[in-house]
Amino acid sequence: MSITRESIAQAYQAIQDEITKGLTALDGKSTFVEELWNREGGGGGRTRIIQDGNILEKGGVNFSAVHGQLPEVIKKSFGVDDDQFFATGVSIVIHPNNPWVPIIHMNIRYFELNEEVRWFGGGIDLTPHYVQEEDAQFFHQQLKDVCDQHQPNFYNDFKTWADNYFFIKHRQETRGIGGVFYDKLTPEKTGLSFEEIFNFSCDLGRSFVGIYTELVNRNRERAFGEREKNWQLLRRGRYVEFNLVYDSGTRFGLETNGRIESILMSLPAQANWAYDFKPEANSLEEKTLSLLKKDINWIK
C-alpha cells in the first residue's frame, strides 16, 4: 500500500485546517480555539472549538491520531486477537443559533490493526430543526455527486446505511434527514484500492465547507421567535439522545480512554426535554416529524 498511516493523518489534518478556515469565514465573528492534547497510551489530537458566533452557537472540528493497546471489549466486538491499534480521523458537529439553519455532522476516519485488518469509515448527515425539502434535495444531491465520482452504487448504499444508522429506535424516528454513512470499507468490499477509498474519504471531507456554507446562507437571515427556539431545543434533545445512547464513535472513544471533552463536544450548549410533547396539527413542527423517516427519496 503506497499510502501510510502517517500520510493519511497528514491529509486529515489538512482537511481540518481547510474546514476551520471555511467555517470561520462563514460565521464572520467568532474564531476557533485550539487545544492540543495527548492520549495516555499513545497519540493525541487537535480539538478546535467555536462558540457564540454570528451563526455558529457551538461547534467543534476535531482531529485525532491515536494508537496503543486495543481494549478487550473492542477486540471482542471486532472479532480480532491483535492488541495494537491505530486510528485517525476528523470529526465535526455544528450547532447553529438560528433554528432555520440545520445541525450538521461529519466524520472521516481510518482504523488499522495490521496489514490485513484496516479500513475507512465516515459520512456526512444533516439534522434540520425544521425539514425544508428544497434544502434536503440540495444536500443529498451534493453527496450523490461526490459519491458518483468514485463508485456508482456508493450513494444509494451509503444513504440506506445512514438511514438505518441515524435512527433513534426508542423514538421510532430518524435523527434528521440522513446523508451518507459507511464503515469498514476495504478493497474487498468496494472493488477499489486503498488509495481510491482514501481519495473518496478526502473528497467527502472537502465537500463539507461548500455544502454547509450554502445551507447556512440560505437560512441565516430568517427571523425566528420563542416558538421556533423552543422547537430547536427539543430537537437538540433528540440529538443528545442518539449520541449518548447509540453513537458508535462516542462509545469507541469512551472505551479506548479517549479525551472526554473532545468526545462530548458533539453535544449542544442547551437542549430541552418536554414530557409527552405533541405538535399542533398541520404545523411545521408536525410536518418535520412526518419527514423523519427512513427511505425517503430526497432527490426528485
**209-220 residue pLDDT tens:** 999 999 999 999
Residues 6+ apart with CB under 8 A from 154: 147, 148, 180, 182, 200
**With contact defined as beta carbons under 8 Å apart, do 140 and 264 qualify?**
no
Cell of 287: 410536518
- Which CATH code of 3.40.50.1820, 3.30.450.20, 3.40.1500.10, 3.30.70.890 fits the domain covering 5-290? 3.40.1500.10
Residue 161 has pLDDT above 60, yes or no: yes
Count other C-beta atoms under 10 Å from residue 33's C-beta.
10
Closest CA to 46 of 32, 34, 28, 30: 34
Residue-level pLDDT at 249: 81
Cell of 157: 448504499
What residue ranges do the domains of the chain occupy? 5-290
Name the catalytic one among 95, 105, 129, 140.
Answer: 105
Closest CA to 131 of 178, 89, 94, 83: 178
Q: To 10 degrees, what angle do helices 133-148 and 194-206 make?
A: 150
What 157-164 contacts at long range (C-beta under 8 Å, 24+ apart), as own/partner pairs, is 157/182, 158/123, 158/182, 160/295, 161/123, 162/123, 162/125, 163/294, 163/295, 164/294
**What single-letter DSSP state applies at residue 266?**
G
Residue-level pLDDT at 174: 97
Q: Is 150 a catalytic residue?
A: no
Residue 164 has pLDDT above 90, yes or no: yes
Model pLDDT for residues 77-119, shown as the tens digit of each residue: 666 666 788 999 999 999 999 999 999 999 999 999 877 789 9
Residue-level pLDDT at 195: 96
Secondary structure class of 56 (helix, strand, coil): strand
Model pLDDT for residues 38-76, shown as the tens digit of each residue: 988 889 999 999 999 999 999 999 999 999 887 776 667
Cell of 262: 473532545
Q: CA dihedral defined by 292, 217, 96, 228, rounded to 10 degrees?
A: -60
Residue 140 has pLDDT above 90, yes or no: yes
Model pLDDT for residues 248-300, shown as the tens digit of each residue: 888 877 877 777 887 888 999 999 999 999 999 999 999 999 999 999 999 97
Residue-level pLDDT at 78: 67
Residue-level pLDDT at 251: 81
The band of 183, judged by pLDDT with boundaries at 50, 70 and 90, is very high
The band of 14, judged by pLDDT with boundaries at 50, 70 and 90, is very high
pTM over 0.85: yes
Q: How far apart are CA 181 and CA 201, in angstroms?
A: 11
Share of the chain above pLDDT 70, in %: 96
Cell of 278: 405533541
Cell of 62: 476535531
Residue-level pLDDT at 68: 86
